[in-house]
Amino acid sequence: MIRVVVVDDQQVMREGLVALLGLIDGVEVVGSAGDGRQALELLRGTAADVVLMDLRMPVLDGVAATRLLKRDHPEVAVVVLTTYADDASIADAVRAGARGYLTKDAGRAEIGAAVRSAANGQAIFAAEVSDRLVAALDARPVARAKTELPDGLTAREAEVLGLIARGLSNPEIAAELFIGEATVKSHINHAFAKIGVRNRAEAVRYGLEKGL
């Protein structure tokens, strides 16, 4: 069973989601909360696999709650379910560590698929959110050509090293690049082997020296 916690400040929405999730095979709702702080308190004593998280809430909003949840419970996946699909909301949620992002017009099948995907370590986004993410990626500065990079680094490896040099953690790099943490670790391992460093401190020094 996939254990889910529902977080939404609107009681009608919260109760509706609990009822809806109860109709999905293989899903068990183990708790609900009306704001981010309540959710964090609930998770101190409740084992969960996925948190279905609203964004705009009093006391502690969904972005801040997601960031703290991923710090304290990195094994728990967060799927945002919100009315808002603007660029800032999406970017803030993904950078905080959300593994999925749906809008509240999503149906039972879509919510069920997102919960299952998140529990299996996969990311899932509503179609309009995916379009915005692709547009954001297209708007990113073009990486330097491979021939210009030192020590045989690929453009992605150099980008990851540059983010390490800026002090970002693996989860923050994953959110920044819209990739999984396992992929980040793979890029780091390959890059470290190529440039001959053994730890992040040496990688930071290398990145700064090379201007990555």
173 & 83 share domain = no
Q: Could you report the per-residue pLDDT of 90-149, keeping only the tens digit for each? A: 888 888 889 889 999 899 999 999 999 999 988 888 877 776 665 655 555 554 444 578
Cα–Cα distance measured from residue 104 to residue 142, given in angstroms and rounded to the nearest whole number: 34
Mean pLDDT of 192-196: 93
Per-chain mean pLDDT for the chain: 88
Global pTM reads 0.65
Phi and psi at 2, nearest 5°, equal -90, 120
> Worst-scoring range by mean pLDDT, 34-43, 142-151, 187-196?
142-151
42 & 80 share domain = yes
52 & 134 share domain = yes
pLDDT of residue 146: 42
The enclosing domain of 190 has a CATH number of 1.10.10.10
Q: Is the pLDDT of residue 210 over 90?
A: no
Q: Could you report the per-residue pLDDT of 45-54, keeping only the tens digit for each? A: 999 999 999 9
Contact 126, 107 (CB under 8 A): no
Mean pLDDT of 22-37: 96
Helices (H) and strands (E) counted in the chain, each on its own, are 10, 6
Provide the domain count of the chain: 2
Q: Could you report the per-residue pLDDT of 163-172, keeping only the tens digit for each? A: 888 878 888 8
Contacts of residue 147, defined as CB under 8 A and 6 or more positions apart, other chains included, come to none
Mean pLDDT of 25-35: 96
Flag whether 92 is in a domain: yes
Q: Could you report the per-residue pLDDT of 133-149, keeping only the tens digit for each? A: 656 555 555 544 445 78
pLDDT of residue 145: 46
Contact 11, 57 (CB under 8 A): no
Range of the domain at 93: 2-138
Tokens linked to 170: 């693996």
30 & 58 share domain = yes
113 & 174 share domain = no
Mean pLDDT of 171-176: 86
Q: Could you report the per-residue pLDDT of 60-93, keeping only the tens digit for each? A: 999 999 999 999 999 999 999 999 888 888 888 8
3-state DSSP of 178-205: CCCHHHHHHHHHHHHHHHCCCCHHHHHH
Cα–Cα distance measured from residue 85 to residue 65, given in angstroms and rounded to the nearest whole number: 18
DSSP one-letter string for 108-144: HHHHHHHHHHHHTT--EE-HHHHHHHHHHHHTSPPPP
Mean pLDDT of 10-16: 96
117 & 200 share domain = no
Flag whether 150 is in a domain: no
Q: Which residue has the higher pLDDT, 207 or 37?
A: 37
Q: Is the dihedral of CA 123, 126, 127, 132 positive or negative?
A: negative
Q: Provide the β-strand partners of residue 3.
A: 28
Contact 158, 195 (CB under 8 A): no
Mean pLDDT of 9-14: 96
pLDDT of residue 205: 81
